[in-house]
Amino acid sequence: MDKQEYQHIRNLAWDTLLQSKINSLPVDISKIAKIYDIHYYTGNNCYDDAIFISNELLKMFGYNIALSKYLAVRLLCPMIVIKFLNIKSAKEMSNITGLPIEIANQRFKRFELLLKRNAFETSELESRLLLQFQDWITKYKGNS
């Protein structure tokens, strides 16, 4: 995936979460399906459901469906939210987001890189998403 595709997929994830009014983790994929009128049968695996929904969203918006796993991960695990939860491990990330541990390991490595680069809140969309999750983040941190 090149940089432009990455940015499109990342922004699509943020916009989808905003439009669906998702404001907590784990992400309720059925809210996304309802907003975008995507019919599917809920499985037992949040990640598989997210891949299915991502595939449908990518078709709907004219993107390459080969990127559905990338979109699914970004829907389930928005990094700006992870940052403010003070997540310390891939296992913790997996528990909170529903990502399989092998995917959470990859995502956590990416998270550490983004922290080092201080690559957060660089987009208006990302800031809006953080605001949408703010109440839940505060409650989560208060219960931890």
- Exposure string over 57-71, b if 16+ CB within 10 A, otherwise e: bbeeeebeeebbebb
Residue 143: the pLDDT is: 83
Q: Which two tokens stand for residue 76?
A: 């389930």
Cα–Cα distance list, 138 to 4, 57, 98, 121 (Å) = 33, 30, 20, 18
pLDDT tops 90 at residue 1: no
Predicted TM-score (pTM) of the model is 0.94
Question: If you average pLDDT over residues 65-83, what whole number do you get?
Answer: 97
Domain count, the chain: 1
Cα–Cα distance list, 57 to 12, 32, 54, 111 (Å) = 9, 9, 5, 25
Distance from C-alpha of 48 to C-alpha of 54, rounded to nearest angstrom: 10
pLDDT tops 70 at residue 80: yes
Which H or E run includes 98?
none
Residue 55: give the domain boundaries: 3-143
The CB-based long-range contact list for 19-26 (8 Å cut-off, 24+ gap) reads 21/132, 22/132, 23/132, 23/133, 23/135, 23/136, 24/133, 24/136, 25/76, 25/77, 25/81, 25/96, 25/97, 25/136, 25/140, 26/76, 26/96, 26/97, 26/98
Mean pLDDT of the chain: 94
Q: At 31, is the pLDDT very low, low, confident or very high (cuts 50, 70, 90)?
A: very high
More confident residue, 108 or 45: 108
